Amino acid sequence: MTLSISLTVNGQPRAIALDDPRVTLLDLLRERLHLSGTKKGCDRGQCGACTVLVDGRRINACLSLAATLDGASVTTIEGLAEGEALHPVQAAFIACDGFQCGYCTPGQIMSAVGLISEGHAGDDAERVRELMSGNLCRCGAYKGITEAVLQAQREMTAETGRDAA
Amino acid sequence: MNRFDFLRPTGLTEAIAEGGKPGSAYLAGGTNLVDLMKIGVSRPERLVDISRLPGLDRIDWLEDGSVRIGALVRNADLAYDIRFASAFPAVAEALLSGASAQLRNAATLGGNLMQRNRCAYFQDGASACNRRVPGSGCDALHGENRLHAVLGWSENCIATHPSDVCVPLVALDAVVEIEGPQGPREIALDALHRLPGDTPELENALLPGELIVGLRLPAEAKAFAAKARYLKLRERMSYAFAVVSAAAMLTVEDGRIREARLALGAVAAKPWRARAAEASLIGALPDTEAFAGAAALALAEAKPSGANEFKIELARRILVRALTLAMEGTPAVMPALPASPFSTHTGDRHVA
Ligand SMILES: Cc1cc2nc3c(=O)[nH]c(=O)nc-3n(C[C@H](O)[C@H](O)[C@H](O)COP(=O)(O)OP(=O)(O)OC[C@H]3O[C@@H](n4cnc5c(N)ncnc54)[C@H](O)[C@@H]3O)c2cc1C
Ligand code: SF4
Ligand code: FES
Ligand code: FES
């Protein structure tokens, strides 16, 4: 049974023929669309390494069957930078030392982008930590991660403030 | 994962017709079912994707003062709905204490109610488990069972229901709206999850093919908005299931308790409403003595199912704490660490 779905992946419309309904969004991205920036840690919703945005919301790609996503728009770590210009969250992770080995980092960054657009953390580090708790970092770079999220959020708010003015 | 047929019905009637066939399972957010399919615990032949059924993702405020939440409303959307969270703050707090931000964005209310237990032997295909394979035995009974049930268990199964949001919902007399091959019906949330008894494989009251379409909270439930808390003790600060949890809600008149609602989580195979404890508080002064008395009543029938006697005392204490905090009043803003007993005072930080 082949299922066809259409997805917009990082702004590109794609028609996808799924020969098997068991394919998760994570495996679709990594194994079939060759977007290996999204990482597989636990494959069970417990680590956050696979975090991507679906229709602007952060979710765990490992628990989402691709077949359920017909018509959705997916953003992965590969879709954040504009040419050579890093997304403010990417830049802040570098500036704040928000990683060591880097394995959890794409998921951390996508989760942070989601967190900032949700807008529930304010400038409270405690709320940032709580709302980033779905992303584990085995290297323990949490301090830098929290700072990066706060710094990126400040920059992005200043940015939109300027646009609005 | 086994092979399965994947169906995307466009309407409720079609979904129920497919869902009623033997071997079918409904798929909502997938955060529990896909996980269990990966480890081979759930092996549906036919997956009926209900995630896009129209009309089930709304929160409707009805004329009689009640509110109806569609089964497909995502956990995050419900928790952050301003009108809902101010009317039912303990429900929002429970939602935000569960899982992670990513999972809450995907998980639906119906799926949260229907999520399976977290017993490690249930998830391990090599272990005996009466829930997974009826009649095979229960390896948890003499195994790692410090997090298992202390109320309502039987020798056939000692697992707990892991949902947070069900705990305040059952305290507020939530009603589950069901559609099925035999037509619509509704039941109290308190009657949705079954205690194991001699039939641990029967986890809930839904008949084959029945689908939860929504959940209703009665108008009276709003009366508790000013004094309502959910507290959840976890083995780490966040992103963990409860060791024990409690919902406590009060109304107070002339310095005395007018009405109380109490329920415990992670102590039994269902969210555990503590009605005798509630009754003991009516007319009482809202002090520690009354709260301790209520907690004693709530756990009166409790007995350890293994190396988990500590949970009984912990549950008593978390109930007293939840009542004490409810009496102090619902916080004006959602605590930074929702439901955490370690963040009772604004300004407290769990790391310097
Ligand atoms: C790492 C992790 C941590 C978690 N932590 C917590 C926690 O702390 N607290 C907590 O409460 N939960 C927690 N959860 C569980 C999570 O809340 C559930 O997985 C989620 O609510 C299930 O919703 P869903 O829509 O994804 O359901 P699905 O996975 O799609 O379905 C779950 C089950 O419900 C059935 N079902 C779904 N919708 C309906 C319906 N409308 N009618 C009838 N049957 C239906 C399905 O057939 C399936 O059996 C955690 C999950 C993970 C993976
Ligand atoms: S406690 Fe219940 S779920 Fe766990 S092994 Fe025993 S029967 Fe299975
Ligand atoms: S790989 Fe998806 S949460 Fe770990
Ligand atoms: S940087 Fe190594 S796991 Fe996070």
pLDDT at res. B347? 46
Q: Say if ligand 1 is within 6 A of residue B33 CB.
A: yes
Q: Say if ligand 2 is within 6 A of residue B158 CB.
A: yes
pLDDT at res. B90? 98
Residue B174 C-alpha from the chain's centroid: 11
Q: Say if ligand 3 is within 6 A of residue A115 CB.
A: no
pLDDT at res. B352? 46
CATH of domain A3-79: 3.10.20.30
Q: What is the pLDDT of residues B212-221, one digit of tens each?
A: 999 999 999 9
Give a yes or no: residue B284 inside a domain.
yes
Residue among B102, B115, B239 with most chain A CBs within 10 A, to mutate: B102
Query: Residues B198-207, buried b or exposed e (16+ Cβ, 10 A)?
Result: eebeebbebe
Q: Which domain holds residue B31?
A: 1-52
In this prediction, residue B346 has a pLDDT band, given cuts at 50, 70 and 90, of low
pLDDT at res. B342? 81
Pick from B4, B30, B351: which is nearest to A68 by CB?
Answer: B30
Cβ atoms of B43 and B37 closer than 8 Å: yes
Per CATH, is A88-164 categorized as 3.40.50.1010? no
> Would the pLDDT of B257 be above 70?
yes
Concatenated DSSP letters for B76-143? HHHHT-HHHHHHSHHHHHHHHTSS-HHHHHH-BHHHHHHPPP--HHHH-TTS-BTTTSTTS-BGGGGS
Residue among B52, B93, B100, B115 with most chain A CBs within 10 A, to mutate: B100
What is the mean pLDDT of the segment spanning B301-315? 98
pLDDT at res. A2? 83
Q: Any chain A CB within 8 A of the CB of B350? A: yes
Residue among A133, A137, A145 with most chain B CBs within 10 A, to mutate: A133
In this prediction, residue B15 has a pLDDT band, given cuts at 50, 70 and 90, of very high
Q: What is the mean pLDDT of chain B?
A: 96
Contacts (Cβ under 8 Å, ≥6 apart) of B273: B170, B171, B190, B262, B263
> What is the domain-level CATH number for residue B298?
3.30.390.50
Question: Whose structure tokens read 């949970």?
Answer: B311
**Is the Cβ pair B336, A124 closer than 8 Å?**
yes
Q: Say if ligand 2 is within 6 A of residue B280 CB.
A: no
ipTM: 0.97
pLDDT at res. A159? 81
Cβ atoms of B232 and B257 closer than 8 Å: no
pLDDT at res. A164? 53
Percent of chain A at pLDDT > 90 equals 94
Q: What is the pLDDT of residues B72-97, one digit of tens each?
A: 999 999 999 999 999 999 999 999 99
Distance from CA of B242 to the nearest CA of A (A): 15
Q: Say if ligand 3 is within 6 A of residue A41 CB.
A: yes
Which residue type is seen at A98?
Answer: G
What's the rounded Cα separation, in Å, for the pair B95 and B165? 5
Q: Where do the domains of chain A lie?
A: 3-79, 88-164
Q: Any chain B CB within 8 A of the CB of A1? A: yes
Percent of chain B at pLDDT > 70 equals 97
Residue of A24, A28, A43, A135 to test ligand 3 pocket, by largest number of atoms within 8 Å of CB: A43
Number of domain units in chain B: 2
What is the mean pLDDT of the segment spanning B41-67? 98
Distance from CA of A58 to the nearest CA of B (A): 5
Q: Any chain B CB within 8 A of the CB of A45? A: yes
Which CA distances in Å does B5 have to A68, B31, B32, B50? Answer: 13, 19, 19, 14
**Is the Cβ pair B34, A67 closer than 8 Å?**
no
Q: Any chain A CB within 8 A of the CB of B342? A: no
Say how many Å lie between the CA of residue B230 and the centre of ligand 3. Answer: 28
Contacts (Cβ under 8 Å, ≥6 apart) of B190: B170, B173, B270, B271, B273
Contacts of B8 in chain A (CB under 8 A): 67-68, 70
Q: Give the residue on B whose Cα is nearest the Cα of A143.
A: B351
Of the two residues B110 and B346, the one the predictor is more confident about is B110
Tokens of A3: 């299922």
* Cα four-point dihedral sign A47, A52, A57, A62: negative
pLDDT at res. A1? 67
pLDDT at res. B168? 99
Give a yes or no: residue B125 inside a domain.
no
pLDDT at res. A163? 58
pLDDT at res. B306? 98
Q: Say if ligand 2 is within 6 A of residue B147 CB.
A: no
Q: What is the pLDDT of residues A39-89, one digit of tens each?
A: 999 999 999 999 999 999 999 999 999 999 999 999 999 999 999 999 999
Instruction: Tally A–B CB contacts below 8 A.
Output: 101
Q: Whose CA is nearest to atom 17 of ligand 1?
A: B112
Q: What is the pLDDT of residues B157-200, one digit of tens each?
A: 999 999 999 999 999 999 999 999 999 999 999 999 999 999 99
What is the mean pLDDT of the segment spanning A130-142? 98
Q: Say if ligand 3 is within 6 A of residue A43 CB.
A: yes
Distance from CA of A65 to the nearest CA of B (A): 8
Pick from A1, A63, A127: which is nearest to B106 by CB?
Answer: A63
> What is the domain-level CATH number for residue B48?
3.30.43.10
Q: Say if ligand 4 is within 6 A of residue A104 CB.
A: yes
Contacts of B337 in chain A (CB under 8 A): 126, 130
Q: Say if ligand 2 is within 6 A of residue B131 CB.
A: yes
What is the mean pLDDT of the segment spanning B143-154? 98
Q: Give the residue on B whose Cα is nearest the Cα of A18.
A: B6
Q: How many CB atoms lie within 10 A of CB A17?
A: 9
Which residues of A, range 87-146, sit inside 8 Å of B by Cβ? 111, 114-115, 118, 120, 124-127, 129-135
Which of B52, B68, B86 delimits the end of a domain?
A: B52
**Cut 0.90: pTM above it:** yes
> Would the pLDDT of B325 be above 50?
yes
> Would the pLDDT of B348 be above 80?
no
**Is the Cβ pair A134, B38 closer than 8 Å?**
no
